[in-house]
Amino acid sequence: ALSPGLYLGRGLLSFCSSVKGGKSKEAEIKRINKELANIRSKFKGDKALDGYSKKKYVCKLLFIFLLGHDIDFGHMEAVNLLSSNRYTEKQIGYLFISVLVNSNSELIRLINNAIKNDLASRNPTFMGLALHCIANVGSREMAEAFAGEIPKILVAGDTMDSVKQSAALCLLRLYRTSPDLVPMGDWTSRVVHLLNDQHLGVVTAATSLITTLAQKNPEEFKTSVSLAVSRLSRIVTSASTDLQDYTYYFVPAPWLSVKLLRLLQCYPPPEEPAVRGRLTECLETILNKAQEPPKSKKVQHSNAKNAVLFEAISLIIHHDSEPNLLVRACNQLGQFLQHRETNLRYLALESMCTLASSEFSHEAVKTHIETVINALKTERDVSVRQRAVDLLYAMCDRSNAQQIVAEMLSYLETADYSIREEIVLKVAILAEKYAVDYTWYVDTILNLIRIAGDYVSEEVWYRVIQIVINRDDVQGYAAKTVFEALQAPACHENLVKVGGYILGEFGNLIAGDPRSSPLIQFSLLHSKFHLCSVPTRALLLSTYIKFVNLFPEVKATIQDVLRSDSQLKNADVELQQRAVEYLRLSTIASTDILATVLEEMPPFPERESSILAKLKKKKGPGTVTDLEETKRERSTDVNGGAEPAPASASTASTPSPSADLLGLGAVPPTPAGPPPSSGGGGLLVDVFSDSASAVAPLAPGSEDNFARFVCKNNGVLFENQLLQIGLKSEFRQNLGRMFIFYGNKTSTQFLNFTPTLICSDGLQSNINLQTKPVDPTVDGGAQVQQVVNIECLSDFSEAPVLNIQFRYGGTFQNVSVKLPITLNKFFQPTEMASQDFFQRWKQLSNPQQEVQNIFKAKHPMDTEITKAKIIGFGSALLEEVDPNPANFVGAGIIHTKTTQIGCLLRLEPNLQAQMYRLTVRTSKDTVSQRLCGLLSEQF
């Protein structure tokens, strides 16, 4: 005789075989429809079906549904199976419900009652089935019904280990879907003690739950740190035979080790010396084991071993407090750089990028420069090569800048097109930041244009012009170099722009050489004229009128060009107007007037031409302080714009055209135009103040710089002739850490250097900032770091102010800037399907929950840039959700200590009108208003 379970298996097998054996889709549908009709008649028949028959038919319905066919009956029969005392019948009932019943079903109350009965039965098998069903459905209704019950099961003393595992993971699922419905209470402290449980399966499940809960409620679970360290210590010091059931290819409990290390990354280094010492021993043991010979040649062994190692290194980097461990981690990663496994090389490069930013391990990272350069040249995988570029950029300093820039330029010629723009931006930043000899800087940028001209943005060639104009010692060399570069038959248009500008200003410095006489210079530039775009032609016309002033002997030749029909009757209004005006100016103006109007450009004030202000709003034209007057005012304007500021290195790995890696305060005018305004942002120091306690008003341009950081975490916040302030931030859930770097750009010490964070009364109750004082003395050319730990308590709309006071050369300096800590920094992206998104969108339909803004585009409406900004803002960018593919849709959760706020946003561009409509919906009106205001300013 066959058992019922075996017969069910054979019956299903027979049905599956007949469906798959169909010779066509029509045959399959015919067979399925026949079976559906049979099942429907059985369910509606007068004869009551026993549990076994219901199980058999429900199982067939489930199989048909999984083939892609709609099932509109059988739900009640599946619910009836839940009340059975037979495991197989109950199992099929729960399986059917988990797959086919949605949260809006009318049967949900009956299902919940059945689940409650099973949870109360204390039968571990039935409790496990019920918990699995709750987790699989995971709906808000399930959370409302059972979120209060499951914690009790989890911490009950008589609950079996297998049920505890299921309860922990079920609660984790409900917390992820409906965090507001999972109450914190007395059970939280008891859950922490599950880390001491004898059953490692329970510990593993509990660690996953505690890690997620601790990210939202760190204070509630801070006692987990010592328990996690204790458990980790027992694992890493155990032999592989001690944990036989949880040893994976000779690695004891690798999954649990990784989870414990991730839990510890939710908190700063332990303050108790004993716990901290034990954790250090654990990390040292993990690093030591990495040096031991492998116990197995199988890849599973190395994967498990390396997973624990990389997570340990992540914790070492997160704590950033143990120099010995940081250096050891760097050396270990250095060994992986030449490993035959591509993934290991990638992970090693990625981790070393982070290590390079630590003052403790930067020098250790630099010792691997040759290996990284070799990886750049020989790696087949473009993603690994990109990480090598990132690491070279991160490890660069004055000692190796020329070598790294040369290698990047060499690689640029064969680099993958997807990363060329990034390399160009990084080379431009490094070349300026570490330029000692500015002839090298000029050569580097011109090489950059020659190799990858299409990827050189305007900000890059603007910057080289500003530096050449500001430095007398490099002007002749620059003129000679660009003249020689223009000799090439095919020149990139950006090179023509640079050549036209520099020769128009300084062509006289090389005119004495017969090989670069005025006529030859003009003929060389004019030979490129017809190949260029309208803006470049306009610049060249301005260069020609400059030549009229510099070289009277070519005046007649240039007037003939300006007088030609192709110029005076040009279809482009700008070119036509320039030709007419320049021709008239050269005809009627006296030599003195011509010399005055077309005199050499004065130096650009450094504050206006920062290479790290690409998104700064353009300023109107004005007058620039005369160079001699600037020198007389050294007490306030130390460098007079002649010394270019070091550009702070940004850590963005894949900048878009809008990435704030390079930039200028204003677009440089053409040579004949007025110089740019110096009012865009002066040296932000109060030289007349004699009160060290007075807080300066916000620096000019502070709002602009603040807006730049809404969608990014790294870069230069403020810069003048004395001081540069750089930021590097990271945020997770409602916690954040910000590194503030203060750089002394002068050769003189800063004394009594005192940075202070100022929060309004309203802001103090919403965010918690903790920081340590910095050294009051900052040496010339040195940089000091300050760490700010941030905790978001509740939503906020203001921002703290950073006030810096110090003495420079006997003069009191006072600077205030807004610190870019904004509500969206605590955004966690949330992926959603189209149906879920619009269902949630409709739920947030109250007028106070929605804020909408229609505004004019301030920047070019580029799709990729817009996507990058939305992702940088913190929300998930949901693809193929909106019916209109041109629209952008995002979703995420704002995490604060007190609550979590779901946020949905929709950005609708109108390319024809150059307008946007931004709609933000959240469950809290103040959050909707703040997010809408912040994001609207980015487009």
The model's pLDDT over 633-672, given as tens digits with 9 standing for 90+, comes to: 333 333 333 333 333 333 333 333 333 332 333 333 333 3
Find all residues with CB under 8 Å of 740, minimum gap 6, and list them: 725, 726, 727, 755, 785, 786, 787, 788, 802
Q: Which helix (H) or strand (E) holds 741?
A: strand 735-744
Residue with tokens 């011509």: 594
Whole-angstrom distance, CA of residue 62 vs CA of residue 97: 10
Predicted confidence band at 833 (pLDDT cuts at 50, 70, 90)?
confident
Whole-angstrom distance, CA of residue 591 vs CA of residue 585: 11
* Annotated binding residue 57: yes
Q: What is the pLDDT of residue 617?
A: 30
Question: 890 with 918: CB under 8 angstroms?
Answer: no
Give the mean pLDDT of 432-454: 88
Give the mean pLDDT of 745-771: 86
**Of the given ranges (60-69, 272-281, 571-580, 632-641), which has the lowest mean pLDDT?**
632-641
Whole-angstrom distance, CA of residue 57 vs CA of residue 71: 12
* Annotated binding residue 60: yes
Residue with tokens 């870019």: 820
Model confidence pLDDT, tens digit, residues 71-102:
888 888 888 888 888 898 899 999 998 888 77
Model confidence pLDDT, tens digit, residues 65-77:
888 888 888 888 8
The one-letter amino acid code at 166 reads: S
Query: Residue 286: is its pLDDT beyond 50?
Result: yes
User: Residues 307, 309, 310, CA angle at the centre, nearest 5°?
Assistant: 70
Find all residues with CB under 8 Å of 118, minimum gap 6, and list them: 82, 90, 126, 127, 129, 130
Predicted confidence band at 846 (pLDDT cuts at 50, 70, 90)?
confident
Model confidence pLDDT, tens digit, residues 483-492:
999 998 888 9
Predicted confidence band at 240 (pLDDT cuts at 50, 70, 90)?
low
Instruction: Provide the terminal-to-terminal Cα distance of the chain, rounded to the nearest Å.
Output: 75
Question: The tokens of 531 are what?
Answer: 């190949």
Q: What is the pLDDT of residue 638?
A: 32
Q: What is the pLDDT of residue 278?
A: 93
Whole-angstrom distance, CA of residue 402 vs CA of residue 367: 16
Question: The tokens of 830 are what?
Answer: 């949330």
Q: Is 714 helix (H, G, I), strand (E, B) or coil?
A: strand
Question: The tokens of 326 are what?
Answer: 């940081």
Find all residues with CB under 8 Å of 207, minimum gap 6, and list them: 195, 228, 256, 259, 260, 263
Q: What is the pLDDT of residue 105?
A: 66
Predicted confidence band at 461 (pLDDT cuts at 50, 70, 90)?
confident
Predicted confidence band at 104 (pLDDT cuts at 50, 70, 90)?
low
Whole-angstrom distance, CA of residue 498 vs CA of residue 449: 10
Query: Residue 421: is its pLDDT beyond 90?
Result: no
Nearest to 779 by CA among 740, 748, 808: 748
* Kind of pairing between the strands at 900-910 and 888-895: antiparallel
Give the mean pLDDT of 28-43: 86
Find all residues with CB under 8 Å of 520, minimum gap 6, and list them: none
What are residue 807's phi and psi, to 5 degrees? -115, 135
Nearest to 424 by CA among 456, 454, 395: 456
Query: Residue 179: is its pLDDT beyond 50?
Result: yes
**149: exposed, middle or buried (Cβ count in 10 Å: 0-12, 13-18, 19+):** middle
Strands, E assignment, 833-912: 850-856, 876-877, 888-895, 900-910
Give the mean pLDDT of 570-594: 89
Buried b / exposed e along 655-683 (16+ C-beta atoms within 10 A): bbebbbbbbbbbebebbbeebbbbebbbb
What are residue 330's phi and psi, to 5 degrees? -65, -45
Predicted confidence band at 714 (pLDDT cuts at 50, 70, 90)?
confident
Q: Which helix (H) or strand (E) holds 443?
A: helix 438-452
* Annotated binding residue 555: no
Nearest to 935 by CA among 909, 910, 907: 907
CA distances from 844 to 144, 874, 904, 923, 934 (A): 19, 20, 9, 7, 20
Q: What is the pLDDT of residue 694?
A: 62
Q: What is the pLDDT of residue 340?
A: 87
* Kind of pairing between the strands at 735-744 and 723-732: antiparallel
Whole-angstrom distance, CA of residue 273 vs CA of residue 196: 21
Q: What is the pLDDT of residue 8?
A: 53
Residue with tokens 């409709």: 842
Give the mean pLDDT of 111-139: 90
* Annotated binding residue 56: yes
Q: Give the dihedral of Cα atoms 905, 906, 907, 910; nearest 10 deg.
A: -160
Whole-angstrom distance, CA of residue 593 vs CA of residue 336: 68
Q: What percent of the chain has pLDDT over 90?
A: 26
Predicted confidence band at 110 (pLDDT cuts at 50, 70, 90)?
confident
Q: What is the pLDDT of residue 100?
A: 83
Nearest to 388 by CA among 406, 411, 367: 411
Give the mean pLDDT of 621-626: 29
Predicted confidence band at 241 (pLDDT cuts at 50, 70, 90)?
low
* Annotated binding residue 42: yes
Q: What percent of the chain has pLDDT over 70?
A: 88
Question: 367 with 333: CB under 8 angstroms?
Answer: no
Q: What is the pLDDT of residue 256?
A: 93
* Annotated binding residue 266: no
The 10 Å Cβ neighbour count of residue 233 is: 17
Query: Residue 262: is its pLDDT beyond 90?
Result: yes
Residue with tokens 């990084």: 426
β-bridge mates for residue 210, sequence order: none
Predicted confidence band at 614 (pLDDT cuts at 50, 70, 90)?
very low
Find all residues with CB under 8 Å of 715, minimum gap 6, and list them: 612, 648, 650, 660, 661, 708, 709, 726, 727
* Annotated binding residue 52: yes
User: Residues 594, 595, 596, CA angle at the centre, nearest 5°?
Assistant: 90
Query: Residue 627: is its pLDDT beyond 70?
Result: no
Whole-angstrom distance, CA of residue 743 vs CA of residue 725: 6
* Alpha carbon 498 to its chain's center: 33
Give the mean pLDDT of 359-386: 89
Q: Which helix (H) or strand (E) holds 807?
A: strand 801-808
Q: What is the pLDDT of residue 263?
A: 94
Query: Residue 854: is its pLDDT beyond 80?
Result: yes
Q: DSSP state, 674?
A: P
Predicted confidence band at 103 (pLDDT cuts at 50, 70, 90)?
low
